[in-house]
Structure 1
Amino acid sequence: MSNTNNTSESQGSQQSSQNSQGSHKAQKSQKSQKSQDSQDSRESRRPRPMEVLREARAQLADLTGMTAETVSSFEQTEEGWSLEVEVLELERVPDTMSLMASYQVELDSEGQLMGYRRVRRYERGRADSRGGR
């Protein structure tokens, strides 16, 4: 009889061990799926162009203290986004004599400002010369 008891006990022990392993595998699979879902949602939550434009203008205004009036160029790059933003640097009367500036603004892929530089300064009422800037 003792052989029968040992056999049924060892079968119960084996089943318990198998259930434990199966449960552990299921938990591991769920964690892996959650990690993948989290990564997918980060990738799919790339900011929309209008969000990038608004955020870039706000960040530049916060840093420079100047009003960002328009975005004159906007493109997606390998690293993120590149914009040219027109800024009112010095308000004058009449308005056509106000000093404006174009700033090159670089953003990362999530829309956070990485850097900026002034590329041009001009009076509001002045048209570009024929060659561009």
Structure 2
Amino acid sequence: MANTKNTRDSQNSPNEPEEREPDEERKPAPERKPAPERETAEERPRPMEVLRNARAQLAELTGMNPESVSSFEQTEDGWALEVEVLELARVPDTMSLMASYQVELDPEGQLTGYRKVRRYERGRADARGR
């Protein structure tokens, strides 16, 4: 006659997880604490992260793709950038209309404001640069 007695040892192989008895209670997972605010210079976003995020945020808000960043600096209030954007593509490309946007970011790199400061043709020299 075959042994029909069911035991945990005879039913589970060493690689299978052990089954729990119905009356065993599961302990809740420990609560995760939110990440602390960035407080030191090491925890601030890196300049390249700020640039990438600023370009992505400006593109989402304006619907235009930034082509380059012509100025970038850290300020007391966060970051300030000047971003060059293609506003209207023309043929030849040197006649395309470009715009410079001044972009303000908080210390974490989130866009807090922007404004168009200049509009120009791509192939035209800047009168201010003479």
Mark yes or no: TM-score above 0.5: yes
CA distance in 2, matches of 1:82, 1:55: 13
Partner amino acid, structure 2, of 1:89 = E
Deviation of 1:121 (Å): 0.1
TM-score by length of 2: 0.69
> Which residue number corresponds to residue 121 of structure 1?
119
Q: Structure 1, residues 55-106: CA drift from partner, whole Å, max 9, x if none?
A: 0000000000001000000000000000000000001111001000000000
SS in 1 for 2:124: coil
CA distance in 2, matches of 1:104, 1:80: 14
Q: How many residues align?
A: 96
> Which residue number corresponds to residue 91 of structure 1?
89
TM-score by length of 1: 0.67
Query: CA RMSD, aligned part only?
Result: 2.0
User: How do residues 66-77 of structure 1 correspond to structure 2 at under 5 angstroms?
Assistant: 66-77=64-75
**Higher share of residues assigned helix:** 1
In structure 1, runs of 5+ residues without a counterpart are 1-33
User: How do residues 40-51 of structure 1 correspond to structure 2 at under 5 angstroms?
Assistant: 42-44=38-40, 45-51=43-49
Identical amino acids, percent of aligned pairs: 80
Q: Structure 1, residues 13-61: CA drift from partner, whole Å, max 9, x if none?
A: xxxxxxxxxxxxxxxxxxxxx99x935xx22321000000000000000
In structure 2, runs of 5+ residues without a counterpart are 1-32
CA distance in 2, matches of 1:38, 1:110: 13
> Which residue number corresponds to residue 26 of structure 1?
none
User: How do residues 1-133 of structure 1 correspond to structure 2 at under 5 angstroms?
Assistant: 38-39=36-37, 42-44=38-40, 45-129=43-127, 131-132=128-129
| Runs ≥4 residues deviating over 3 A | none
Deviation of 1:111 (Å): 0.1
